[in-house]
Amino acid sequence: METTHYISTAILDLSTIKSIVENRLSLELSEEARTNINKSHSYLHEKMKTQDTPVYGINTGFGSLCNVKVSAENLSQLQENLVMSHACGTGEYVPKEIIKLMLLLKIQSLSYGYSGVQLQTVERLIEFYNHDILPVVYTQGSLGASGDLAPLAHLSLPLIGKGEVFFNNKRIASEKLLEEKGWSPITLQAKEGLALLNGTQFMSAYGVHMLMKCYKLSYLADVIAALSVDAFDCNMSPFDALVHMVRPHGGQVKTAERFRELLEDSELGQSEKKNVQDPYSFRCIPQVHGATKDTLRFVEKTFKTEINSVTDNPNIFISDDKIISGGNFHGQPLALALDYLAIAMAELGNISERRIYQLVSGLRGMPDFLVDNPGLNSGFMIPQYTTASIVSQNKQLACPASVDSIVSSNGQEDHVSMGANAATKCLRVVDNIETILAIELMNASQAIEFRRPKKTSTLLETLLKTYRETVSFVSEDRVLADDIHASVAFLQDFSIDETLLFE
């Protein structure tokens, strides 16, 4: 079994990252990456010996201070000052799994040889990754334009013995950690601070983390909705392939196909129906869930391009003998994609809540609020309230961050993406969807019991059997918060074949 992932120019994709994370692979630079890093650093080092004209961020100030030249003897101090002065993060701590992805993606970007950093700087970042030394990073502070400056500054502080890290389940001073490890602080050379801080690894790490989770939630939304379809005694005709052949959006076609597979041998699905049509929240599942699937594909394509790119500034092109200051750090592609992802995932929750509402409404032979003796028992009345509250919050969070821009750095940075805010609020939406789907699973599994002795499909009956080991049938009122939390944990632990996730 592999224990190491070699950083190279090979394409990094979701499947590869998932394998690195889940198998806890160590990172190591390939010979190709080492060569790229050394060549770029040597070129820059030699160039600066003879370079008298200003080169942004290498021998000048930053942002609106770009025209202030800095003397050669102060170039190292310039880079260290940059890291310290830009570490202005506030808010909550970034989740540790996302910090680790930030390290991975920063290492990958620096390995291409367009950034001019020292080999030992990249190797120290790899040491952090491999030893689970995770810099303390905060959620607020990035405009998502000159890169994720504040978060990446906090990610970089431990390299120079500043800031704090999470290590062995404790938050400790980086200076103390370096002493314990016997490591000397890195002395940053020309451009290194800028290479570390310019970049989109905060937004990218959030995006990658959420995409892996969203693909799973998209699949679970189909499975749980299929259970709701049988629980509400719905028609199967809206899932007929003929319907979708004449409107062949990829996600829509895939969703209908999946529902036919999930409900293939369902006794409930094959039974004669009294109702001619079903509410949209059931009948239009392929169209709504499918649109989210198509969005996931678009967002994945955007992030796949980004994490295999160079996003710091300026960029070093050895073969062309050029150092070019551009704008690859601008997060606009990611900001738009993250907003799109938030909207698409919020819609999975929106339609799920409508199915929950229908299930508790006492329709189609179901008892009011899915409980015996309603009146004495409130049953599943309030979980729908809870879901409605979460769905409403998601609608607020789905308002796009990318439509905003606030001028910074004395007008030099006069358009920003706000992609970092798009990222952090999108994660709240995604986490909320997990709770909404867990509540739908509670409702659908409860409703199915009132259809007995008829059964749903073999696949879904197996799911129900496993779920009942965690959450039992509700025969009379009890503290349903416990069941909701148990249902969320059930979904989090639910294992899905990767071929189903990314197909």
- CA 378 to chain CA centroid, nearest Å: 37
CB atoms within 10 A of CB 142: 29
Reference 240, options 226, 259, 266; nearest CA is: 259
How far apart are alpha carbons 300 and 297 in whole angstroms? Answer: 5
How far apart are alpha carbons 195 and 314 in whole angstroms? Answer: 8
How far apart are alpha carbons 299 and 98 in whole angstroms? Answer: 18
What are the Cα distances from residue 421, in Å, to 139, 143, 404? 8, 8, 10
Reference 206, options 48, 422, 497; nearest CA is: 422
How far apart are alpha carbons 198 and 216 in whole angstroms? Answer: 31
First to last CA, the chain: 25
Element (H, E) at 154: helix 149-156
- CA 218 to chain CA centroid, nearest Å: 13
Specify whether 219 is catalytic. Answer: no
What are the Cα distances from residue 324, in Å, to 8, 58, 174, 314, 347? 23, 11, 34, 5, 42
How far apart are alpha carbons 117 and 197 in whole angstroms? Answer: 12
236-256: b or e for each residue (b if 16 or more CB lie within 10 Å)? bebbeeeebeeeeeebbbbbb
Residue type, 42: S
What are the Cα distances from residue 51, in Å, to 2, 72, 75, 91? 45, 10, 13, 41
Of residues 43, 56, 112, 206, which has the active-site annotation?
A: 56
Q: Going by DSSP bridges, is the β-strand pair 90-93/4-7 parallel, antiparallel, or unpaired?
A: unpaired
Reference 489, options 462, 455, 466, 456; nearest CA is: 466
DSSP state of 435: H
How far apart are alpha carbons 162 and 157 in whole angstroms? Answer: 5
Rg value, the chain, Cα: 26
Residues with catalytic roles = 56
